[in-house]
Structure 1
């Protein structure tokens, strides 16, 4: 990474082709472990310091989807039956007794065929291999995981599982079905997922917290808040399935991303009323929302409430607070928290310093931001590309073009990429000061370093040159 040169410091800067022959090798290479269902997503897992991580990272399931040991060359049922018959006739008795072997074959064909053909293929497998092949619940879950094209297909798989295998849907079954509908292409079948989860809750097995929150997350992303709240109320009233801390965190994160901070505050109150103690992630999320609105005072209020609740701030908390205060023009207040965060065992990093520099540049104190860069490096904190781009943009805005040019040389020596905003501001500043040749050099570097696309970089330069020509004609620029 580039360092600030002494001159800047002094200036206050701181198909399986041959399937039968390879079959035995594939069986030997096949791992004894299987690939589990997709991992549930929870916002809490994004926080390294969350106390709930150990509870959320794993799920108990006994029906993983097997990894196929080979691929069928075509999706045609007749071809699959022919290949399977050849495999059975050429395989030894030990192979034929392996459930993983049969499940991998079924999974391979189901991944490229229609649900109806998959059912027919399983029926053929049972007919040819009986009694050596006795399918278990995981066998039917394979069919279910490949039936996401519509709700009728899911229902048909569930009925087939019950009638042909005698297996009543359990929580894992519910999870696979819901995830399959949510992963449907070209768009998730969320209304169908809601309908199915209610149906399974009534007849067989309600969702566990993982499945429930997984669906909540997808509903928040793709449906209105009214729809989500209606679903939560229905599940609570009809099946006594209540939202937990993770549910509220997902909801709060969603409304904060849509800048609905009033709803976020309401949900924070509901969360407390339900007996849940908000953790650092919840408070950080709300603080982030106020940062998006440049409401530094509200960010500070959330931090104070966090202290009152006895929730220990983490590194994200302090960086969010400093960013929010700096962005809203309260750099002096933001700087006070540098010692507070250090006292709490969290040392300022590149994010912390860049936030402060951004705020100082907004106030027109670009030289002070450069001094902070020197201080940052002296303390052993390595600035990143965002830090330099922030300063370059601030210097150009403050009409300190020579300092900006020298900082650009440092960036260039460190092979740092230019961001769109700093590039455009720098190029415009150079052209307005009659330094067009240097602007072309910056353009060349932006293209060579792949900082911007050729079209984007050239469009900015061309627009600036057009403005310069017009300004000269009007006598605005010499």
Structure 2
């Protein structure tokens, strides 16, 4: 109880606003509901060939074996020896070989089939491999980039994107930063999607001062400025570290940069205050949001109700439930579960149970979290029989028991002399894979030991 449900997030998160990784080694864009310009479409078409990877094609990294296999494919004409065919072969071999051997295989392809002409996506396969290769520096990457340039393909934004994502995928974030700066000096600036992806990676593994330093350098040296998504990533990061003062400073900086904070930004900050159980601050963010003309969404109200309920202000939470409905947002399982959580914390588990009936009457189906919250609350308030009834619904619905509700329920059963029932609940917890066998048994065993000791000492249970 008390944890922030995952659904207290906007439907479009910061990571969603960053372009998804490229599925193939090309520079095709996915701009999320944004129609690319003609210039962008033209740039994308340069690298439009899709590569089908055949991961199990090469059993050995030996170059000689790879050449023989390639020659056998071409001689039997099982597949048209066109560019996609050669790229798929190269991609498959790159999964098991060294960068140098992959380059040698490419040279062999060109030699044996003069009709084959490598394109940018071909060299991007090698670039991705070079970035992921275990190496202490960027020399394999530089070698691949030089090979590209010597064959008439200057690095573009797609090149930068593939290099950055490949380096970050193997935790070479510092190398990604270094390479971005190098490529930017050579007029191959990262686009805003690559830039934001790198910012997000930096936030995960570097100090905030280091992230700010990178942002300032890219702004001053290359005129790449943060956008709304950048600020959202930063705000999400500082909220996760409970640095709400810095989050509000970033909101001010966002305004000064000409961007208007959106619903997701405010929801993120509200979530941060919820983590600290600061109900007043949650309401403050909500009011500021309204003053700024930003319309709250379902996540806003769910976060607000959760924060108030968690901090014991259930009556205020119910007031915002009414406001939420009046605003046209239908309460969902998260809304009701948050309220039940707060009511159970205040010892009003029977009121929470009545809210369950109201919830179902309004056509909202409770979920496993709802039932576990109520089970935990009822047992804490010593309403064992009602807890047993609720457990029956959980079992009937095939739902999993959460660790806290399972432990509380088992303890109450044992204290109430219902040891056989406790063993039955233990069996269900294991069968439904709610808990591991060890965790479920440890809870039961410790409860039985406590019960035995209490009886020996003449204590009432």
Which aligned pairs between 1:338-353 and structure 2 lie closer than 5 A? Answer: 338-353=321-336
Q: CA deviation at 1:194?
A: 0.5
Q: CA deviation at 1:65?
A: 5.0
In structure 2, do the counterparts of structure 1 residues 43 and 343 end up closer, same or farther at CA, with 3 Å as the change threshold?
farther
* Aligned residue among 26, 49, 52 for 1:67: 52
In structure 2, do the counterparts of structure 1 residues 254 and 371 end up closer, same or farther at CA, with 3 Å as the change threshold?
same
In structure 2, do the counterparts of structure 1 residues 65 and 215 end up closer, same or farther at CA, with 3 Å as the change threshold?
farther
In structure 2, do the counterparts of structure 1 residues 154 and 42 end up closer, same or farther at CA, with 3 Å as the change threshold?
farther
* Aligned residue among 313, 319, 322 for 1:330: 313
Task: Give CA-to-partner distance per residue, 1:359-409, whole Å, 9 cap, x none.
Answer: 000010011001100111111111111101000100111111121111112
* Partner of residue 15, structure 2: 43
* Aligned residue among 98, 113, 121 for 1:114: 98
Distance 2:338 2:191 in 1: 41
Task: Give CA-to-partner distance per residue, 1:245-301, whole Å, 9 cap, x none.
Answer: 000111111111111111111111111110001111111010001111111111111
Task: Give CA-to-partner distance per residue, 1:80-132, whole Å, 9 cap, x none.
Answer: 1122223333339x933x211221121121222110000111111111212x1
In structure 2, do the counterparts of structure 1 residues 293 and 189 end up closer, same or farther at CA, with 3 Å as the change threshold?
same
* Partner of residue 174, structure 1: 160
- TM-score in terms of structure 2 length: 0.89
Which aligned pairs between 1:398-413 and structure 2 lie closer than 5 A? Answer: 398-413=381-396
Q: Does 1:270 align with 2:253?
A: yes
> Does structure 1 retain, via aligned residues, the 8 Å contact 2:50–2:84?
no
Structure 2 unpaired stretches of 5+: 1-12, 19-30
SS at match of 2:34: helix
Q: Does 1:127 align with 2:111?
A: yes
Q: Does 1:245 align with 2:245?
A: no
> Does structure 2 retain, via aligned residues, the 8 Å contact 1:44–1:281?
no
Task: Give CA-to-partner distance per residue, 1:187-221, whole Å, 9 cap, x none.
Answer: x0011110000000011301000100011111111
Distance 2:376 2:337 in 1: 12
Q: Does 1:158 align with 2:158?
A: no
Which aligned pairs between 1:368-447 and structure 2 lie closer than 5 A? Answer: 368-447=351-430
> Does structure 2 retain, via aligned residues, the 8 Å contact 1:370–1:391?
yes
Distance 1:44 1:275 in 2: 22
SS at match of 1:415: coil
Q: CA deviation at 1:469?
A: 1.6
Please, what is the CA RMSD of the aligned residues?
Answer: 2.0
* Partner of residue 210, structure 1: 193
Q: Does 1:101 align with 2:85?
A: yes
Higher RCO (Cα < 8 Å, 6 or more apart): 1
How many correspondences in the alignment? 426
Q: CA deviation at 1:53?
A: 5.2
Distance 1:113 1:65 in 2: 21
Distance 1:89 1:415 in 2: 58
* Partner of residue 364, structure 1: 347
* Partner of residue 54, structure 1: 33
Moved over 6 A (4+): 56-59
Q: Does 1:83 align with 2:94?
A: no
* Aligned residue among 170, 181, 193 for 1:198: 181
Distance 1:143 1:318 in 2: 49
Structure 1 unpaired stretches of 5+: 1-40, 47-51
In structure 2, do the counterparts of structure 1 residues 299 and 381 end up closer, same or farther at CA, with 3 Å as the change threshold?
same
- TM-score in terms of structure 1 length: 0.85
In structure 2, do the counterparts of structure 1 residues 276 and 376 end up closer, same or farther at CA, with 3 Å as the change threshold?
same
Q: CA deviation at 1:451?
A: 1.2
Which aligned pairs between 1:128-143 and structure 2 lie closer than 5 A? Answer: 128-130=112-114, 132-143=115-126
Distance 2:278 2:173 in 1: 35
Q: CA deviation at 1:435?
A: 2.1
* Partner of residue 443, structure 2: 460
Q: CA deviation at 1:436?
A: 1.6
